[in-house]
């Protein structure tokens, strides 16, 4: 799509808040407004493709979510995360938890059932909104 991937100057690992951008000027996006906690585990970033609209951003890595045209939604964070996923990442990628301003400790990441539940809610909210958006444009 024309964007370029690259190593980010800052890794993001753990639960981090991002802000929704009101690019559609609807008051809320995906029926979500303000700040929300999301699960991050990445050290890469990308440039926004020409014609894409950034929907969410975060200080360490502005490119978090974008929509392109009517049928492409891209996510940098992990709304699909569950306890098993977090445990697997900790077990298999513990070396990623090197010191960094946006890298949380194992204790900060694990045992956050409240954030896992809100992440699941966010995932289904985004999917429902996207499905509704696609259906309304198909009519």
Least confident residue range of 2-11, 15-24, 98-107, 129-138 = 15-24
- CA–CA distance, 64 with 48 (Å, rounded to integer): 10
Q: Can you spell out the DSSP letters for 70-90?
A: TTEEEESS-TT--HHHHHHHH
The burial class, CB within 10 Å (0-12 / 13-18 / 19+), for 9 is exposed
Residues 6+ apart with CB under 8 A from 121: none
Over 60: is that where the pLDDT of 129 sits?
Answer: yes
Fold of the domain built from segment(s) 5-133:
Rossmann fold (3.40.50)
Tens digit of each residue's pLDDT (9 = 90 or more) over 61-118? 878 888 887 678 888 889 999 999 999 999 999 999 988 899 999 999 999 999 999 8
pTM comes to: 0.81
How high is the pLDDT of residue 105? 95
Cβ–Cβ under 8 Å, residues 23 and 53: yes
């Amino acid at each position: 799509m024309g964007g370029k991937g690259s190593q980010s100057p800052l890794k993001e690992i753990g639960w981090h808040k991002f802000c929704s951008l009101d690019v559609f000027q609807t008051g809320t996006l995906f029926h979500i407004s303000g700040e929300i906690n999301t699960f991050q585990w990445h050290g890469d970033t990308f440039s926004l493709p020409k014609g894409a609209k950034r929907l969410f951003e975060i200080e360490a890595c502005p490119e978090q979510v974008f929509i392109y045209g009517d049928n492409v939604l891209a996510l940098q964070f992990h709304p699909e995360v569950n306890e098993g996923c977090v445990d697997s990442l900790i077990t298999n990628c513990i070396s990623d938890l090197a010191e960094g301003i946006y890298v949380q400790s194992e204790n900060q990441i694990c045992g956050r059932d409240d954030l896992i539940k809100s992440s699941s809610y966010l995932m289904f909210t985004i999917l429902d909104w996207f499905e509704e958006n696609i259906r309304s444009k198909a009519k």
